């Protein structure tokens, strides 16, 4: 990892004003991603995983907006840029891979044209050069007979092949950061393995920083270098993937790991976390996890949990597991 992180997020807050009051889907989240590093972001639905990714590339839907915090990309602050300025950076500096490959490609335009358009928008090349580059990037993501298939439409490809095209599209302008939001959730296991292997290889070869948003702990374990666990819009735990998954410090991470069928192998019942994640409009006082936490004490009910960042302790918890008895 280089000294200067590619992406640096500090105390990011996203708020949505509603009739019922102000909601905070992302609440003071801080993390770094270095070059060539894959940061996994996990959490259950509504934990704010996708919202953090969308905030970074400025794709928040109104009325959601960033109300405080800083986002630095390659040493430049990007959270206050205008839409026009940000647009130049999307694609060029940040690539995006979404969950559903069919909705992220224009169904009416051949894939080659979508690729060359993106390339020419960001790089000073001629149409012929752009086409050559497009073919090369399709070959790189493993599309057979790329030169012949470049003029095909998205519907002529299978789901896995489409996701490869989307990855080619995200990487064609050689961005330094890729945000992959549930890139394999819509795919079958065997195709998922292909796409994950592809993403890992390309990022290693180019030193691209990747933010991988997913709910699948298995994918995170195999792919990510570090992992950020989110709960109710806040960072619950942040650290190297092996340590976080094998020796979680936050009771939520521990509960989440325990409730996967694999962890309870050979036991008749799965471990379960009581209750469900609170709605953003009805967060409990103190630590957001305290009503479900087996170790909650008065301090947890009265004080908001400590916030964590790249340099701080690993778990946002007053009584982290593994440290105090």
Partner 1 sequence: MSLVSIQNLTRVFDVSKPWLNRVIERLPKRYLTAVSDVSFDIPAKTTYALVGESGSGKSTIGKMVVGLLPPSEGGVTINGIDLAIETDDDKIESVRSDIQMIFQDPYASLNPRWRVRDIIQEPVVARGGKATGLAERLLEQVGLTASDADKFPHEFSGGQRQRICVARALASEPKLIVCDEPTSALDVSVQAQVLNLMSDLKDEFGLTYLFISHDLTVVQHMADRIGVLYLGRLVEEASPDALFDAPQHPYTQMLLEAAPRMDGFGREVEPPKGEIPDPIDPPSGCAFHPRCPMAVAKCSAERPALKTVGESRVACWVAQGDT
286 binds partner 1 (CB under 8 A): no
Q: Which of 255, 286, 309, 320 binds partner 1 (CB under 8 A)?
A: 255
Q: How far is the CB of 4 from partner 1 (least distance, A)?
A: 24
276 binds partner 1 (CB under 8 A): yes
Nearer to partner 1, 9 or 51 (CB): 51
Q: Where are the beta strands (DSSP E) in 198-295?
A: 209-213, 226-231, 234-240
317 binds partner 1 (CB under 8 A): no
Q: Among the candidate windows 77-85, 98-106, 117-125, 257-265, which touches partner 1 by CB under 8 A?
A: 257-265
Give per-residue burial for 205-232: e unless 16+ CB within 10 Å, then b: eeebbbbbbbbbbebbbebbbbbbbbbb
156 binds partner 1 (CB under 8 A): no
Contact positions with partner 1 (CB under 8 A) in 86-145: none
Q: Among the candidate windows 119-127, 264-272, 280-288, 296-304, which touches partner 1 by CB under 8 A?
A: 264-272
Nearer to partner 1, 19 or 269 (CB): 269
Q: List the one residue out of 177, 197, 209, 180 whose CA is nearest residue 1.
A: 209
Contacts of 56-64 with CB under 8 Å at 24 or more apart are 56/7, 56/9, 56/94, 56/179, 56/211, 57/86, 57/90, 57/94, 57/96, 57/179, 58/83, 58/86, 58/90, 59/96, 60/14, 63/16, 63/17, 64/14, 64/15, 64/16, 64/25
270 binds partner 1 (CB under 8 A): yes
45 binds partner 1 (CB under 8 A): yes
Across-strand partners of 70? 10
**Would you state the structure tokens that stand for residue 192, as one six-digit string?**
């998922």
Contacts with partner 1, 218-237, as mask; x by CB under 8 A: xx-xx---------------
Q: Which of 241, 287, 293, 317 binds partner 1 (CB under 8 A)?
A: 241
Q: Which of 217, 293, 296, 308 binds partner 1 (CB under 8 A)?
A: 217
The CA-CA-CA angle for residues 59, 205, 191, to 5°, reads 70
158 binds partner 1 (CB under 8 A): yes
Nearer to partner 1, 123 or 321 (CB): 321
Q: Is the peptide bond before 204 cis (omega within 30 degrees of 0)?
A: no
Q: Which helix (H) or strand (E) holds 9?
A: strand 7-18
188 binds partner 1 (CB under 8 A): yes
Q: How far is the CB of 270 from partner 1 (least distance, A)?
A: 4
- Show Cβ contacts of residue 252 under 8 Å, excluding neighbours closer than 6 positions: 229, 231, 236, 237, 273, 289, 292, 293
Q: Which of 245, 293, 300, 315 binds partner 1 (CB under 8 A)?
A: 245
Q: How far is the CB of 31 from partner 1 (least distance, A)?
A: 20
CA distance 58 to 73: 12
Q: Which of 44, 100, 121, 129 binds partner 1 (CB under 8 A)?
A: 44
264 binds partner 1 (CB under 8 A): yes
**Cα distances (angstroms) measured from residue 253 to each of 102, 245, 260, 273, 299:** 33, 8, 11, 10, 20
Nearer to partner 1, 82 or 190 (CB): 190
Give residues in contact with partner 1 (CB under 8 A): 44-45, 158, 160-161, 188-194, 196-198, 215-219, 221-222, 241-242, 245-246, 255-257, 259-265, 268-273, 276
């Amino acid at each position: 990892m280089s000294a200067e992180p590619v992406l640096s997020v500090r105390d990011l807050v996203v708020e949505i004003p509603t009739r019922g009051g102000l909601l905070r889907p992302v609440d003071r989240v801080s993390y770094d991603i270095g070059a060539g590093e894959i940061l996994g972001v996990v959490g259950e639905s509504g934990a704010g995983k996708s919202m953090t990714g969308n905030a970074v590339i400025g794709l928040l839907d109104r009325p959601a907006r960033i109300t405080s915090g800083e986002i630095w990309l390659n040493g430049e602050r990007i959270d206050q840029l205008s839409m026009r300025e940000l647009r130049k950076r999307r694609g060029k500096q940040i690539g995006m891979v979404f969950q559903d490959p069919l909705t992220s490609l224009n169904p009416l335009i051949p894939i080659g044209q979508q690729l060359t358009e993106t390339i020419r928008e960001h790089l000073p090349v001629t149409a012929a050069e752009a086409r050559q580059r497009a073919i090369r990037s399709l070959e790189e993501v493993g599309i057979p007979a790329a030169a012949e298939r470049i003029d095909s439409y998205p519907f002529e490809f299978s789901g896995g092949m489409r996701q490869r095209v989307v990855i080619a599209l995200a990487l064609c302008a050689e961005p330094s950061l890729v945000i992959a939001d549930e890139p394999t959730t819509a795919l079958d296991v065997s195709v998922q393995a292909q796409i994950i292997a592809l993403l890992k290889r390309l990022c290693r070869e180019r030193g691209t920083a990747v933010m991988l948003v997913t709910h699948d702990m298995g994918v995170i374990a195999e792919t990510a270098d570090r992992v950020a666990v989110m709960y109710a819009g806040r960072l619950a735990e942040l650290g190297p993937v092996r340590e976080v998954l094998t020796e979680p410090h936050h009771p939520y991470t521990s509960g989440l790991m325990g409730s996967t069928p694999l962890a309870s192998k050979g036991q008749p019942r799965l471990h379960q976390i009581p209750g469900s994640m609170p709605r953003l409009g009805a967060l409990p006082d103190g630590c957001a996890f305290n009503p479900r936490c087996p170790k909650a004490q008065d301090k947890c009910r009265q004080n908001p949990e400590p916030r964590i960042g790249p340099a701080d302790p690993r778990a946002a918890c007053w009584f982290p597991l593994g440290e105090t008895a």
